[in-house]
Amino acid sequence: MLFTSFDFAIFLIIVLTAYWVLKRQLFAQNALIVISSYFFYGYWDIRFLFLIVLSTAVDYCMAQLIDEGEISKKDRIKITSSLLVSALVFLVIQYDAINFDSNILRLTIDWSNLLVNALGWQIFAATLVVVAAANIIYSRFSGFFKHNKKKVFLFISIATNLAILGFFKYFNFFADSFVVMSESLFGYTPGAFTLDIILPVGISFYTFQTMSYTIDVYRGEIKASKKLTEFAAYVSFFPQLVAGPIERGKLLLPQFQQPRPTPEWSDVREGVWLIFWGLFKKLVIADNLAKIVNPTFEYYALGGSAGAIPPTDGLSLVIVLYAFALQIYCDFSGYTDIARGTAKLFGFNLMINFRLPYFATDPSSFWRRWHISLSTWLRDYLYIPLGGNRGGSLLTYRNLMLTMILGGLWHGAAWTFVIWGFYQGALLSIYRALGIDAEMGGNYPQWKKILMIIFFFQLTCIGWLIFRAETPETIVSYLGGILFNPLTTPETWELLKTLLFYSWFLIVFQVLQYKANNLNPMQNWHWFIRLNIWVYIIMSLLVLAAAGGQEFIYFAF
């Protein structure tokens, strides 16, 4: 279910209405969030709901063992039953065997195929064995758990989450890489052992979110939740479930633990604005720019053998690269805006994930502005534990490189993401070696900051080329087209006009945000100016929104 779909609009109205009917009933509101979030996620593929339940169950238990050294019998029964029921409901039952004819309002069930799912039964049996063994072990060694064994439980949490993430996201990547390495180094071709694995939507986001919660409990920064419903709501909260922001337990979980007051009019107004602003960025800018970005990259990905030949002169390729920079920003930040706006209507505050990233003067500034929830996650749970900047320059550069390479792999299982991570780590290291950080201590005149912003934007766009390319060969051929064919064609200016036509308002608005140092400068403007902006946004959505309902780019990560 896409944020940009009519289905989601109906879903949101129904859930929001029911939610506020239940105001001041905390348990009922949290339960509604869990049910609606599971429905929202299951709309893509119901089978992967079992992974969310599994991740929720593991981290709920491990956090309590870390914090308290024990789990109540009531909680163990809840976890056991939730895992078994979810395995049965989400994996065993074949919903294709259920058919509803809306014309005659008749429900038919093919009972012979309803429960015929060998893999589902195998996972159900495995789940039964594991939870039975876990309960037996706990009953016999409960005294052992009451001692300080925090690291063991933290390890179980992290290992389980990384195993799930690694299997679904990286198994085929490492298997294919092993085959290639064996062929190139030893001349031996091992048998094919890759699997037909489907990547669950949003698995990287909710996995990192639950991991950070357990780590924070281990560090003593938050108490373990003792209510399964509120914790399940925190893990599965549908506005930010599939593409973030990656929320911390210490910031979002307390909002599920206390009654939410009815939103003030200012919160409703801001929430609605964020939703429409996000829809504008996604449907009007990102999806329209995709029409000039995708054919060009597909052409280079296929080695120039695609059907229609896109422009290949140097300036056109630069314009297409700028278009992708705006596309990915509007696509991803548009999702975040809609998520934050939707959450506000429910009385929740999600973190800001973007702060005008293309006004960054250097890579450190960029990562304080772009995908802030991931960059701070990598900083707090990877870079600093590796040693951060405490071990001298060489170790600092090593830590930066490792953090960014792993951050690149977080985005996807491909060598282009490894190269992109290496590139980002190299930029951070070079700028650090040169002592350039205009926002955190550099005292530069305004004209010089503007030049630094322009220059670093070019470096950012090179990074986006690496990020968007499907193979390393695509990177080389695309850069070659820019460097060795510095010509223009009439189509070049058509591309530029298309780029400016869809993005001019965003550029102007973000310049005003930057000058005001305020992401919501409209609150200080005259009502007539605000009215005209609203008219422009709504009319643009009605007239210029791209058809087709493209998925958000970060759903693939």
pLDDT for 440 beyond 90: no
Mean pLDDT for the chain? 87
Residue 178 pLDDT class (50, 70, 90 cuts): low
Overall average pLDDT of the 148-176 stretch: 83
User: Which listed residue (147, 371, 411, 526) is catalytic?
Assistant: 411
Instruction: Count the Cβ atoms, other than its own, within 10 Å of residue 425.
Output: 23
User: pLDDT (tens digit, 9 = 90+) per residue, 119-150?
Assistant: 888 888 999 999 999 888 888 777 666 666 88
pLDDT score of 481: 86
pLDDT for 207 beyond 70: yes
Could you tell me the pTM of the whole model?
0.90
pLDDT score of 346: 94
Overall average pLDDT of the 171-175 stretch: 69
User: pLDDT (tens digit, 9 = 90+) per residue, 212-229?
Assistant: 999 999 999 999 999 999
pLDDT for 453 beyond 70: yes
Give backbone dihedrals phi and psi of 62, rounded to 5 degrees, phi first: -65, -35
pLDDT score of 208: 93
Which residues, 6 or more positions from 280, have their beta carbon under 8 angstroms from its beta carbon? Answer: 334, 537, 540, 541
pLDDT for 500 beyond 60: yes
pLDDT score of 335: 93
- Cα gap 174→194, rounded to integer Å: 9
Q: Is 411 among the residues known to form the active site?
A: yes
Highest mean pLDDT among 107-111, 442-446, 527-531: 527-531
Residue 166 pLDDT class (50, 70, 90 cuts): confident
pLDDT for 549 beyond 90: no
Overall average pLDDT of the 181-188 stretch: 59
pLDDT score of 447: 87
pLDDT score of 4: 83
Overall average pLDDT of the 428-457 stretch: 85
Report the share of the chain in percent with pLDDT over 70. Answer: 90
Highest mean pLDDT among 296-310, 337-351, 426-440: 337-351
pLDDT for 266 beyond 60: yes
- Cα gap 86→366, rounded to integer Å: 41
pLDDT score of 146: 64
Which residues, 6 or more positions from 40, have their beta carbon under 8 angstroms from its beta carbon? Answer: 1, 11, 238, 241
pLDDT score of 140: 78
From 229, 257, 259, 255, select the one nearest 240 (Cα to Cα). 255
